[in-house]
Amino acid sequence: MKTDAFRSTFAPHVEGLIAHKRAIGYRYQTQAAILSRFDRFCVSHHGNEQTVSKEIVFHWAERRPGESVGAVRIRVSVVRQLALYLQTLGHEAYVIPPRTLPRYLQYVPYIFTERELQLFFSQTDSCRYWGGSPLRHLVMPVLFRLFYCCGLRVSEASNLKLRDVDLDHGVLTVRGGKFGRDRQVPMSDEITNRLRDYCKRVPAVLGEDRYLLGSSLLERPLPVRTVYFNFRRFLWEAGISHGGAGKGPRVHDFRHTFAVHCLRRWVQEGKDLSAYLPLLTAYLGHSHFRQTAYYLRLTADLYPAITARVEQIFGQIIPQLEVVHENH
């Protein structure tokens, strides 16, 4: 039976795919939203179709005005997953060949210099009170430091609640990270003290179920668009140029910068990377060592002076730079 959420002839299978992905640990939120759009598309343009046909797939794959190549690829990839899922159930469905999908333009992470970080955080500290968002001037300096100092993803920082912060021991608990995993993230003394000061300045609105760095007096998580709007404004005020869509820097590059700076410091200090790298894997919430090993190549390429030491220790496990996805 079709639900109110999905109305096309494929509704039961769309629901089944979403349930399957979430059951094995994927959040599958963006993909579910795309499938909802695909469902409405089928109702509007292919209401009588009983199979995910080649005609439907190629119609869906047409690039819309102003749409990026990456956005098209994501849309088409999700419907390709649906077709594969249908085939596993014994239904006829057209699976578009991977080589047919538009290719991403390669994005190499933007690694902030120490000077750029100083300039950027100086601008967050200069953020002024605004009646439309009365806590913005307190939230922004802490929020962006968590991205860099703790390597958090945007969603992880935005969804922190007061109960997730242990100021006595300087530890954050990230709940429902990638693949639904929870993890604990130790903080430096500097960021712990900043959080203590922040909590003292907003005691009237903080509560165990309030968002630590949220909106509407901390009742809701900060919308992603709000984070990115302020990020672009601070970049401009700091004199750091932005190359436009797909060229960065991006908010997620604070996480990349955190990882690269950690590895560079450990190499310079002569640390045993074979022992330290698994710690970074756990700290970042990566599910596979290869995700963290990516940063070894990035670090070596950015700082040639340490290339020999990195390759001496890790050799062939260091991957070549490839496309970096937003949730890495």
Q: How far is CA 240 from CA 61, 110, 119, 160, in A?
A: 36, 11, 9, 28
Residue 299: its pLDDT value, please? 82
Q: Is the pLDDT of residue 316 over 60?
A: no
Residue 76 lies in a domain: yes
Measured CA to CA, the distance from residue 210 to residue 294 in angstroms comes to 36
Do 298 and 229 fall into the same domain?
no
- pLDDT computed for residue 35 by the predictor: 95
What pLDDT is stored for residue 328 in this prediction? Answer: 54
On whether the CB atoms of residues 130 and 233 are closer than 8 A, the answer is: no
Which residue in the list 250, 286, 297, 328 is annotated as catalytic?
286
pLDDT of 117 above 70:
yes
Q: Is residue 119 domain-resident?
A: no
CATH of the domain at 215: 1.10.443.10
Choice among 75, 178, 264, 328 that is catalytic: 178
Q: Is residue 150 part of a domain?
A: yes
Average pLDDT over residues 214-221: 82
> Which of 13, 153, 161, 250 does the annotation list as catalytic?
153
More confident residue, 325 or 280: 280
Distance CA 271, CA 188 (A): 19
Q: Is residue 116 part of a domain?
A: no
Domain presence at residue 199:
yes
Give the number of domains in the chain. 3
Q: What radius of gyration do the chain's Cα atoms show?
A: 22
Catalytic entry in 294, 295, 297, 328: 295
Q: Is there a single domain that holds both residue 146 and residue 210?
A: yes
**In the 3-class helix/strand/coil scheme, how is 238-288 assigned residue by residue?**
HCCCCCCCCCCCCCCHHHHHHHHHHHHHHHHCCCCHHHHHHHHHHHHCCCC
Same domain, 196 and 286: no
In a domain, 117, yes or no: no
Q: What mean pLDDT is predicted for residues 94-119?
A: 82
pLDDT value at 1 more than 60: no
User: In terms of domains, do 82 and 16 share one?
Assistant: yes
In the annotation, is 286 catalytic?
yes
247 assigned to some structural domain: no
178: annotated active-site residue? yes
Q: Do 147 and 96 reside in the same domain of the chain?
A: no
**What per-residue confidence (pLDDT) applies to 106?**
58
- The alpha carbon of 179 is separated from its chain's Cα centroid by a whole number of angstroms, namely 12
Residues 20 and 75 grouped into a single domain: yes
pLDDT band, very low/low/confident/very high, at 311 (cuts 50, 70, 90): low
- Return the sign of the alpha-carbon dihedral for residues 18, 21, 23, 28: negative
CA distance 306 to 300: 6
pTM, two decimal places: 0.69
Which residues, other chains included, contact 202 with Cβ-Cβ below 8 Å and sequence gap of 6+?
135, 138, 218
Examine the domain organization and report whether 71 and 33 are in the same domain.
Answer: yes
**Residue 322 has what pLDDT?**
45
Residue that is last in its domain, among 57, 83, 100: 100
pLDDT of 310 reads: 66
Among this protein's residues, is 290 annotated catalytic? Answer: no
Q: What pLDDT is recorded for position 16? A: 94
The answer to whether residue 125 is domain-embedded is: no
Annotation marks residue 252 as catalytic: yes
Shared domain for 220 and 288, answered yes or no, is no
Regarding whether 218 and 263 lie in a shared domain, the answer is no
Q: What is the span of the domain harbouring residue 181?
A: 133-234
For the segment 224-272, what is each residue's pLDDT rounded down to a tens digit? 889 999 999 999 999 999 876 666 799 999 999 999 999 889 888 888 8
